[in-house]
Amino acid sequence: MRLAKYLAHAGVASRRAAERLIAAGRVTAGGVVVDDPARDVGVEDEIAVDGRPVAPEARVVYAVNKPPGVVSTAQDTHGRPTVTTLVPSQARLYPVGRLDADSSGLILLTNDGELAYRLTHPRFEVPRTYIARVDGAPVTAAALRALRDGLTLNDGPTAPAQAGLLAPDLIELTIHEGRKRQVKRMCAAVGHPVIALRRVRFGPLELGALAEGCHRRLTGIEVDRLRAATGAED
């Protein structure tokens, strides 16, 4: 296994972050600094980061129904509750992407850095579906067309979205870019600021009946489907 991928599987960091650790000279094999992220390594190579041995741990993925008020980080400097506290696990879990603190719904936690990277990087185009309760109802057909056609935001044009109306003030929106606060900014741009936002689907995985604040570990089949959604073969 390549060194950067080995570190990602060990839960140390995402693959990109692991490459930066290697470039900084913080990774050793058998006590010798390694500067090649593509070097093939295994447990027998005694890999360490900052002098601390690391080894791949069993990879796990959890689905969490994040409540409003919980932040999507592993730690928070302001003392707010974090999504990682919702899952009692010995694994070093971190969130896959983010949901705003005031948003709710499906977020994934994992110790698989490679999978997290592929699920969140825009080039893999993994879709995410949200339900937005908006102001200014009823939502017009013109607003839905604008969302479907793509909008120009302050950080550039968006890709076309799938948009449908569930109620006069309820939009179901599917995107695959994942820019910061993108759904809220898109809805505001068509004249319907978001009042409440909930993510209900991430790739092939649905939130379903999972209660707010609760979690469940994904099955092997579900994890395989997530990998397949990114084009990964294993």
Residues of the chain with pLDDT under 50: none
Domain assignment of residue 222, yes or no: yes
Ordered strands of the 47-49 beta sheet: 32-33, 27-29, 47-49, 52-53
**pLDDT at 165 (0 to 100):** 97
Question: Domains in the chain: how many in total?
Answer: 3
CATH number at residue 44: 3.10.290.10
* Angle, vertex CA 157, rays to CA 154 and CA 163, nearest 5: 110
**pLDDT at 14 (0 to 100):** 77
Q: Which residues of 63-85 are buried (b: 16+ CB within 10 A; e: fewer)?
A: bbbbbeebbbeeeeeeeeebbbe
Domain assignment of residue 234, yes or no: no
CATH number at residue 146: 3.30.70.1560
Domain assignment of residue 91, yes or no: yes
217 and 193 share one domain: no
66 and 47 share one domain: no
**pLDDT at 234 (0 to 100):** 52
**pLDDT at 19 (0 to 100):** 92
151 and 40 share one domain: no
Show which residues are catalytic: 100
**Per-residue model confidence as pLDDT tens digits over 178-217:** 889 999 999 999 999 999 999 999 999 999 999 999 999 9
DSSP summary character for residue 32:
E
43 and 158 share one domain: no
pTM of the entire structure?
0.80
**pLDDT at 230 (0 to 100):** 93
Range of the domain at 23: 3-53
